[in-house]
């Protein structure tokens, strides 16, 4: 055993666990990516725009920033509504949703 490095079973297990956890952390989607995936199939459908916004907020919870929620919500609306929203950049999002509701 002269010059050989040996590792105890406990050290080997610990090293394996650390490597496994790091690999999972690196390959796992971030919370934003998970949220985007859950939002992918959400559509306006028969809902009013404000109802869709509330639904997206409930899906995202506190994990999703207002900016991301707004971007995802706007992306689910028809083009004419998106154009109106673009003119309301300084207006609070709930007020914008009410305005867009009046259009639908």
Question: Which domain, by its residues, includes 68?
Answer: 30-103
Is there a domain that residue 24 lies in? no
Is there a domain that residue 67 lies in? yes
* Cβ–Cβ < 8 Å for 97, 49: yes
**In a structure prediction context, what are the per-residue pLDDT tens digits for the chain, which is 104 residues long?**
445 567 788 888 888 888 888 888 777 777 667 767 777 777 888 899 999 999 888 887 777 777 888 888 899 899 999 998 988 888 888 999 999 999 87
How far apart CA 51 and CA 101 sit, in angstroms, is 9
How many domains does one find in the chain? 1
How far apart CA 61 and CA 49 sit, in angstroms, is 18
How far apart CA 88 and CA 38 sit, in angstroms, is 27
For the entire predicted model, the pTM comes to: 0.61
Give the total residue count for the chain: 104
Is there a domain that residue 22 lies in? no
């Amino acid at each position: 055993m002269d010059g050989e490095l040996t590792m105890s079973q406990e050290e080997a297990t610990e090293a394996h666990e650390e490597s496994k956890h790091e690999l999972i952390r690196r390959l796992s989607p971030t919370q934003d990516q998970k949220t985007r995936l859950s939002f992918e199939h959400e559509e306006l459908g028969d809902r009013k725009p404000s109802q869709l916004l509330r639904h997206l907020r409930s899906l995202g919870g506190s994990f999703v920033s207002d900016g991301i929620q707004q971007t995802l919500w706007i992306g689910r609306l028809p083009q004419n509504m998106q154009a109106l929203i673009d003119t309301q950049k300084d207006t609070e999002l709930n007020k914008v949703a009410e305005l867009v509701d009046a259009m639908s």
